[in-house]
Structure 1
Amino acid sequence: MNKKFLAVCLSMCLVLAIFIPQAGATPKPETFEKINKNEKTSTPEFVSGKLTKKSNKKPKDVLFSYLNEKKETFKFAESAESDFVVIDEFVDNLGFTHLRLKQEFNGIPVYGRTFTAHIDSSGVLTSFSGTVAPELDQKMKKKKKKVKQKKAFSTAEKDLISSFAEEPQYAIDPTTEEVIYVKNDKSNYAYHINFKFFYPELGDWNYFIDASTGDILDKFDQSFKVDAVGTGTGVLGDEKTLNIDRQGSTYYLQDNTRGDGIFTYDGENVHQNLLYYPIWLIQRYLPGTAVSDSDNIFNDGSAVDAHYYAGLVYDYFLEEFNRDSFDNQGSAIKSTVHFGQNWSNAGWLGEPLNQMIYGDGDSDTLPFSGAFDVIAHEITHAITDRTADLIYQDESGAINESMSDIFGALAEFWADLDPDWLMGEDVTLSSNGIRSMADPTLFNKPDHYDDYLHTTADYGGVHTNSSIINKAAYLLSEGGNHSGVSVNGIGKDKMGDIFYRTLTQHLTASSTFSQLRSAAIQAASELYGSNSSEVTSVQQAFNAVGIN
């Protein structure tokens, strides 16, 4: 799937936990497995335990042997070797080999079907996460591809244009990829067409056109936008120590001490109509002019905050998780302040720009560069994009939003910047933030799965239903009683470690709330032991918000 252009998530699943000793098990079985099974597909969405015996084989071979033995359980079409492709492999600091895979059918990728697997240092497979699109050999047998790619593109583009008062101006050329698209247990040959644009608004639209009928199977926007809230103008800042660069007699907001650098630019209030134009022209104006001064004292509050906070976000992920920038490759973090005119927004612009933009606000908002948790929230979206790659729709989309809230809050506590469990409170005046993790109901958000909002708005209510996960994370950290369930808190550091490992190593593109629960339990087991109090607390936290 295409990487998201804007960093600013599929059906609700019931799960059944089954403990199955494998054949030949003894009172102390050499292998065992616990399966969370999706009742709608009858295939596992998360499997953990000692799934295989010790082995000297390559990790991929260990996994594929297991999957082939369990083919009837997972219900994939042919063999593990033909149906799964390894897209990433690395060894983590606990000695686990981490594999990330995608599903294919006859060489065609199955959209959103990604998987993770963990093999310990003794060659034992300990977990497999992700839901296989089952029985594609049977479901696709009679389906034929009759629609040409050009016709599919025309259908998608016509529908896109009709959705806006003014025609979108593409930032980069739209892309088309042949996929298998699975939704509501229906599988179809399809064309996945992606449109990225800035005008008439920020957009990253995905269309799925049936390759047999030419109908639109689905469409959704994956752009990440910041809500415009509150009142006020300007950034009233405190004094901050900045890492800067001197070139001759001029000083620049350029920090060369972090990765490939932290760079802060002035957009000089270039009108947001710049976003009408193709990417090659936008790149003439962005990132803008490097913020500079004749001495080492900078008085531009928006630029100072953007520069300082971007560096702190970098430090937070490096110190806490040994992550080197958003891509873990040390890539430069670029911020442009003073973008647009009377523009009250902020966002992460992904490929090919890879930078933040900040408006100066309007009569209702302060510049978003003044809110550290917002900057951490947005950069976490970039991390999600490069790891779990959670689809921005329904439950996976809500998890995507929640992960950004979680690490936005944790980064604020880490930095000790008047921390709290509110989001965006530093850029609002008429209200105290836009979301509360401690009490989502303060902003009319749900705090229990029984109150999950089923809607087609906001891509399935991603900014609303994320609060259910936010509440679970808060309870895991701080403890408390909720919905008749008592949760023993484990503190912010351990909560962050568990959710970071869950996000970067266990979640997959189409993850559900139930899969998130299983993934978090697995992450806690790997970090602290399967019989640890931390695992018990994870179970309690998810029980408290009704996620089983």
Structure 2
Amino acid sequence: MRALPGGRRAKAAIALAGAALVAGSLLVTSPASAERPADLVSYDAAGRITGLSAAAGHTLRPAAKGDAAAQATAHLKALAGRFGVNAKQFAVDKTTALPGGTVVRFQQTIGGAPVLGGQLVAVLDGAGALSSLHGNTTTATDKAAKPAKGAGEFGAKTRQSFADEAKTGVDALEEAESQLAWFDPAIYAGTPSKGDVKLVWSVKVEPAGLDAWGGEVLYDATSGTEVLRLSHKHEALSRAICDANSTYVSTSAFCLAKGAARVEGGAVSGVTDVNDAFDLFGTTSSYYQTNFGYDLTAAIGSTGKGDNVKRLRAIVRACVQGYGCPMENAFWNGKGMTFGAGFASADDVIAHELTHGVTEHTSGLVYSSQSGAINEALSDIFGEYSDLTNGRGNDAAGVRWDMGEDLPASIGVIRSMSDPTRFSDPDKVSSSLWYKGTNNSAYVHINSGVGNKAAFLIADGGTFNGQTITGLGLAKAGQIFWRAQNTLTSSATYKELNTVLPAACRSLATSGTGGITAADCVSVDRAVLATEMNLTPAG
């Protein structure tokens, strides 16, 4: 990222045009009017623009010619200077059609190698005009991507490390293709980039079945030392359910040898856990299809040994080494779900875990730091929104926003979205409960409370932290978070979500999707302000 022309002076110039500095973001009030609310411009701590979002009924630039990718590219070239970046470092990575427009994701590259988490996302309206542009980038200038180490020396090491973590054999894991990339730690820390990038090999391993989990390790391409380790284990329509009957699952051939206890079109099982998993896979799939037109099976289903049909897959009543038997846990490993006894009966938990798969295929949020916390929050959000609309389980007023109210009594409720502080999770970024330690699992699960509180306020409303929010209901709230899910960068921080949620609402209001209006976006603005997403966490 190059320096913003004029540095902080450019920010001041906008302010002189009639703007008010509000909680770390600049609300541009000129040429706003009673008919068109203010646009939103977000800055990082160094004064560089990180996001531009138009008010409902307004776009930032006139439509360009060509398809969505060409239109977005034209917008990026026109605005790159305001972000302090060189447009030549960006190429279209993915284009996603959404109601009322299109999302175009750009990947930053240096010397032909991608910058991990270095992305800009353009949201276009139906005519190709720009509704918003935001993202995280490095300020590093072009340099050659020349590794001193080859990728080949890291594959076996990575497989063995994740096999040891899962307490299984290396044959339960498969090595994916390694990638040479640039790593800027500031992108994931949510701090301004200083251009300090490191050339790394990204080495990924994937599970061969449902009984293990893979992950990714970044190795310094010069020294070979480990830079960052990311587990792909996330705790807690064609379907195939296997039953381990409270025995240890230690080989990926388990389902092949045992046979599925229930498959699509097959007979109902005599085992409650099998039927619960089968049915709740169905209700979650229906939630995504009905509300967003998203085919869960096509997106995150997998084939199995001896079964080449793409299905949503699970093993129930499973025991995994290191977790005891019965296993009081559930996890998604990228290919399917594994449940301990009784865990397949919790509809919000099942939708939560399946949403990890959805996130992997949409925003791709990295499971670390603030992006990992937002990853967990989105799983809770769609898990609970699905739970509250599927007519199953306990949805009484007293547990309406509890996560895991239908889990076995030995575990019980694990989080509250209406009041995260009940479980010592933060409900705003400045909370003393914000986790500042180095345990990544604790970090992502605890700090998800901020996103959860915002989702509760947007759906049900209430007064919190000086803001009174009118609830929009589950249907509108779901549409707003779904659009956010598709527009977040993989390295998103809460500051980015502070830009993306209001921008998502304004795009939906402009297109008239889901009955969302400009007035509804006031509630979203107040919810992100109440939860202080615009702030940088202390420490």
TM-score, normalised to structure 2's length? 0.78
Q: Please tell me whether the aligned partners of residues 506 and 521 of structure 2 are also in contact (alpha carbons under 8 angstroms).
A: yes
**1:83-482 pair list within 5 angstroms:** 83-94=89-100, 96-137=101-142, 140=143, 145-151=147-153, 170-173=172-175, 175-184=177-186, 185=193, 186-196=196-206, 202-226=212-236, 259=237, 261-269=238-246, 271-274=248-251, 281=253, 284-285=256-257, 288-291=259-262, 298-325=269-296, 327-328=298-299, 332-340=311-319, 341-350=325-334, 354-360=335-341, 367-417=342-392, 418-419=394-395, 420-430=400-410, 432-451=412-431, 452-459=434-441, 461-482=443-464
Query: Structure 1 residues 430, 190: closer, same or farther in 2, change over 3 A?
Result: closer
TM-align CA RMSD: 3.4
Match of 2:473 among 474, 491, 494: 491
In the aligned structure 2, how far is the partner of 1:283 from the partner of 1:267? 9
SS of the residue 2:122 aligns to: strand
Q: Which residue of 2 aligns with 1:51?
A: 60
Q: Which residue of 2 aligns with 1:76?
A: 85
In the aligned structure 2, how far is the partner of 1:328 from the partner of 1:374? 19
Worse overlay, 154-163 or 373-382 = 154-163
Q: One-letter code of the match for 1:222? A: H
In the aligned structure 2, how far is the partner of 1:478 from the partner of 1:109? 41
In the aligned structure 2, how far is the partner of 1:90 from the partner of 1:162? 38
SS of the residue 1:414 aligns to: coil
Q: Which residue of 1 aligns with 2:19?
A: none
Q: Please tell me whether the aligned partners of residues 20 and 34 of structure 1 are also in contact (alpha carbons under 8 angstroms).
A: no
In the aligned structure 2, how far is the partner of 1:27 from the partner of 1:488? 23
Q: Please tell me whether the aligned partners of residues 117 and 128 of structure 1 are also in contact (alpha carbons under 8 angstroms).
A: yes
In the aligned structure 1, how far is the partner of 2:33 from the partner of 2:353? 49
Cα displacement (A) at 1:43: 4.0
Q: One-letter code of the match for 1:399? A: I
In the aligned structure 2, how far is the partner of 1:162 from the partner of 1:266? 25
Cα displacement (A) at 1:63: 2.3
In the aligned structure 2, how far is the partner of 1:145 from the partner of 1:325? 39
Query: Structure 1 residues 222, 159: closer, same or farther in 2, change over 3 A?
Result: closer
Q: Please tell me whether the aligned partners of residues 220 and 459 of structure 1 are also in contact (alpha carbons under 8 angstroms).
A: no
In the aligned structure 2, how far is the partner of 1:327 from the partner of 1:190? 32
Cα displacement (A) at 1:97: 2.4
Q: Which residue of 2 aligns with 1:545?
A: 531
Q: One-letter code of the match for 1:223? A: K
Q: Which residue of 2 aligns with 1:229?
A: none
Query: Structure 1 residues 188, 305: closer, same or farther in 2, change over 3 A?
Result: same
Q: One-letter code of the match for 2:226? A: I
Does residue 510 of the first structure (1) align with residue 491 of the second (2)?
yes
The percentage of aligned residue pairs carrying the same residue is: 24
Q: Please tell me whether the aligned partners of residues 371 and 427 of structure 1 are also in contact (alpha carbons under 8 angstroms).
A: yes
Query: Structure 1 residues 329, 421: closer, same or farther in 2, change over 3 A?
Result: closer
Q: One-letter code of the match for 1:413? A: L
Q: Please tell me whether the aligned partners of residues 240 and 313 of structure 2 are also in contact (alpha carbons under 8 angstroms).
A: yes
In the aligned structure 2, how far is the partner of 1:264 from the partner of 1:164? 21
Q: Please tell me whether the aligned partners of residues 159 and 173 of structure 2 are also in contact (alpha carbons under 8 angstroms).
A: no
In the aligned structure 1, how far is the partner of 2:276 from the partner of 2:170? 32
1:317-374: CA deviation from partner (whole Å, max 9, x where unpaired): 1112221225558853223323335233222232xxx3222222xxxxxx11111111
Query: Structure 1 residues 34, 479: closer, same or farther in 2, change over 3 A?
Result: closer
Q: Which residue of 2 aligns with 1:521?
A: 502
Query: Structure 1 residues 164, 59: closer, same or farther in 2, change over 3 A?
Result: closer
Query: Structure 1 residues 412, 48: closer, same or farther in 2, change over 3 A?
Result: same
Q: Please tell me whether the aligned partners of residues 16 and 39 of structure 1 are also in contact (alpha carbons under 8 angstroms).
A: no
Q: One-letter code of the match for 2:379? A: S
Query: Structure 1 residues 444, 34: closer, same or farther in 2, change over 3 A?
Result: closer
SS of the residue 2:120 aligns to: strand
Query: Structure 1 residues 218, 467: closer, same or farther in 2, change over 3 A?
Result: same
In the aligned structure 2, how far is the partner of 1:339 from the partner of 1:161? 18
In the aligned structure 1, how far is the partner of 2:49 from the partner of 2:411? 44
**Larger RCO (CA within 8 A; separation ≥ 6):** 1
Query: Structure 1 residues 147, 406: closer, same or farther in 2, change over 3 A?
Result: same
1:498-520: CA deviation from partner (whole Å, max 9, x where unpaired): 1111112x111001101112111
Q: Please tell me whether the aligned partners of residues 388 and 508 of structure 1 are also in contact (alpha carbons under 8 angstroms).
A: yes
Worse overlay, 418-427 or 393-402 = 418-427
Query: Structure 1 residues 164, 311: closer, same or farther in 2, change over 3 A?
Result: closer
1:390-416: CA deviation from partner (whole Å, max 9, x where unpaired): 000111111110111111111111013
**1:35-50 pair list within 5 angstroms:** 35-40=41-46, 42-49=47-54, 50=59
In the aligned structure 2, how far is the partner of 1:500 from the partner of 1:400? 13
SS of the residue 1:338 aligns to: strand
In the aligned structure 1, how far is the partner of 2:506 from the partner of 2:60? 15
Which 5+ residue runs of structure 1 have no aligned equivalent?
1-13, 227-258, 361-366
Q: Please tell me whether the aligned partners of residues 74 and 132 of structure 1 are also in contact (alpha carbons under 8 angstroms).
A: no
Cα displacement (A) at 1:197: 5.3
Query: Structure 1 residues 102, 170: closer, same or farther in 2, change over 3 A?
Result: farther
Q: Which residue of 1 aligns with 2:18?
A: none
Q: Please tell me whether the aligned partners of residues 60 and 132 of structure 2 are also in contact (alpha carbons under 8 angstroms).
A: yes
Cα displacement (A) at 1:467: 0.9
Q: One-letter code of the match for 1:449? A: V
SS of the residue 1:415 aligns to: coil
Q: Please tell me whether the aligned partners of residues 44 and 131 of structure 1 are also in contact (alpha carbons under 8 angstroms).
A: no
Cα displacement (A) at 1:494: 1.2
